[in-house]
Amino acid sequence: MKPVTVHLKAKEVQEIQGGPMSAYEALEQLGVRGLDRVVSVKIDGELADLSTQIDSQVELKPVYLNSKEGLEILRHSTSHVMAMAVQELFPGVKVTIGPAIEDGFYYDFDYERPFKKEDLSRIEEKMREIIKADLPFTGREVTSQEANDFFKGLGEDYKVELITDLGAENVKLYTQGSFTDLCRGPHVPSTGMINAFALTKVAGAYWRGDENRPMLSRIYGVAFENRKELKQYMRRIEEAEKRNHARLGPQLGLFSTYNEIGAGMIVWHPKGAMLRHIIEEFEIREHLKRGYELAKGPSLLKTELWNKSGHFENYREHMYFTDIDEQSYGIKPMNCLAHMLIYGSRIRSYRDLPKRYFELGTVHRHERSGVLHGLLRVREFTQDDAHIICTPEQLNNEIKGVLDFVRDVMDIFEFDYELEVSTRPEKSIGTDEDWDLAINALKVAMEDSHLQYDINEGDGAFYGPKIDVKLKDALGRKWQCATIQCDFTLPERFDLVYIGKDGQKHRPAMIHRVILGAIERFIGILIEHYAGAFPTWLAPVQAVILTVTDRSIPHGEGLLRALEDADIRLEADFRNEKLGLKVREAQLQKIPYMLIVGDKECDREGLTPRLRNGQNLPLMSAKEFIERISEECKQRR
């Protein structure tokens, strides 16, 4: 028989006698360690099942369970086990898609009723039975017609639609036990390799994300290499639920949503409005001291302008339109158009550049109802938007300046972060040359700043590539906020020019950038990052005066006036209630300081601060407390 030649590692070549064999048998003959933890292989760089036959010269690489790819395979395999369990427990259910996602997986089902949280324990129990049976995952390639006939016979309409849309001559099916699914694979060798999993929640999801298609039941789950990692994850989930901004926001009196108003629209209560004001005032100060100029554009712009910019062609599904006096207008989803018109309102010299226009601009975007969530995904939001128009020679320093701005602000809010460069998407405008110039400008600026970054292929804006800043919060979760976009295309479309040293007209470059991003989203992230216990400088209410008895009220009123005059944000609780009750209520509101005022404080004309963590500070004068809190705010603690 013809020997199989295997490249296991760089420069390591080995012939295996015995002719065609499975990838697993090849790894076994090669003496690969830890075979019980190998879930798949890479054959010439492509993922494949361990059962894949090898009959020629190949480069072989084992994929271990604890690797990123190994965990993704494990999670996808677990989704198949869940779908099998659901089919056995709920006759008549139709299965749709079930991909692996970060930390877990989900599967969407069409059933006569939505699945409930109470169903999850039954499904988990059935999954454990399937896992214990140690059923092998077997894949086979069939023609699309054969697959269509097979799923039609089962009444699986969604699978038939997927096969039709693929338009491929052949597709792959995977089977374990009685369950067969349309799937590219690969999968773990058998269900017995799945060791640590949990089903976490149920939700609704439109078929293929289209709100005009059927509403399906989505079941989410997680899977890990071992039970220890699963337990650690579940503890993080419990902590995340305690920090959930959608629960804490209304509880702390920050914001609400109302069905009467509409989905994705936020109503800010006084404390939330104050929090926004603090952040926006901070933003304005930080921009002005970095050479930005304030700008303001209207919410409605003629549709012909959105045509000119390319938004109508490439972004209109996210926009709202209306007619006024038989003229079509678009409600702005972005702020860049007005800023370019400001720039083009007069002739600019190279000496005028760069121009940095900053706007806290409120925009509207049509988000599907299924993705709306608290403050994190809304239809109306305000961006800390800026557009820097500069000469091509200034581009590098301006991008680095924005990167420095991001670093300084994230330090203040105590966020770590990672960087990605997102490249040209399929739906885009501009020349290849302009895109190459823009991508290179972003990369060079980060390399000059000694910053590490990943490449996110095809996820740029339709007019230019971007640097995405992924924040990491107190629980290690990643959030997309800041972005820096480099654009040579819109300056061309809007005929932006400057007069160069040679007296000739030249085309400027433009940077679109946000630092915090959407203020609504950023506040949602902040609530969860700090668990609602904002640092003193950021807290909407910095202190509450708590009287012990009615005798203390006159002194409390005097303190209230003195502290308000010092611009301390505070409340007063002069109710005839037990002090313990007042303290507990203030702690639940996560107010940084509770100022206790009783007989002792009245006699000594002072106050006794108590921190929200329960620590009592010594009695001090109003002046001493003002100095303390002022210093905290100055240091942004």
User: ∠ at Cα 594 (590, 596), nearest 5°?
Assistant: 160
Peptide bond into 186 cis (omega under 30): yes
Q: Are strands 170-176 and 138-143 parallel, antiparallel or unpaired?
A: antiparallel
Using CA atoms, how far apart are residues 383 and 442, in angstroms rounded to an integer?
A: 22
Using CA atoms, how far apart are residues 427 and 249, in angstroms rounded to an integer?
A: 37
Using CA atoms, how far apart are residues 483 and 487, in angstroms rounded to an integer?
A: 13
Using CA atoms, how far apart are residues 210 and 201, in angstroms rounded to an integer?
A: 21
Catalytic residues: 336, 365, 383, 385, 387, 466, 512
Using CA atoms, how far apart are residues 350 and 502, in angstroms rounded to an integer?
A: 10
Residue 345 makes CB contacts below 8 A (sequence gap 6+) with none
Residue 211 has what DSSP assignment? T
- DSSP percent split of the chain into helix, strand, coil, nearest 5: 40, 30, 30
Contact predicate 52/109, CB 8 Å: no
Using CA atoms, how far apart are residues 181 and 159, in angstroms rounded to an integer?
A: 8
For residue 251, CA distances in Å to 91, 248, 589 come to: 42, 5, 8
Contact predicate 15/3, CB 8 Å: yes
Query: What phi, psi does 600 have (nearest 5°)?
Result: -60, -45
In the numeric block, which tokens belong to residue 504?
């000739």
According to DSSP, the residues that pair with 321 across neighbouring strands are 330
State the sign of the Cα–Cα–Cα–Cα dihedral 231, 237, 241, 243: positive
Contact predicate 527/590, CB 8 Å: no
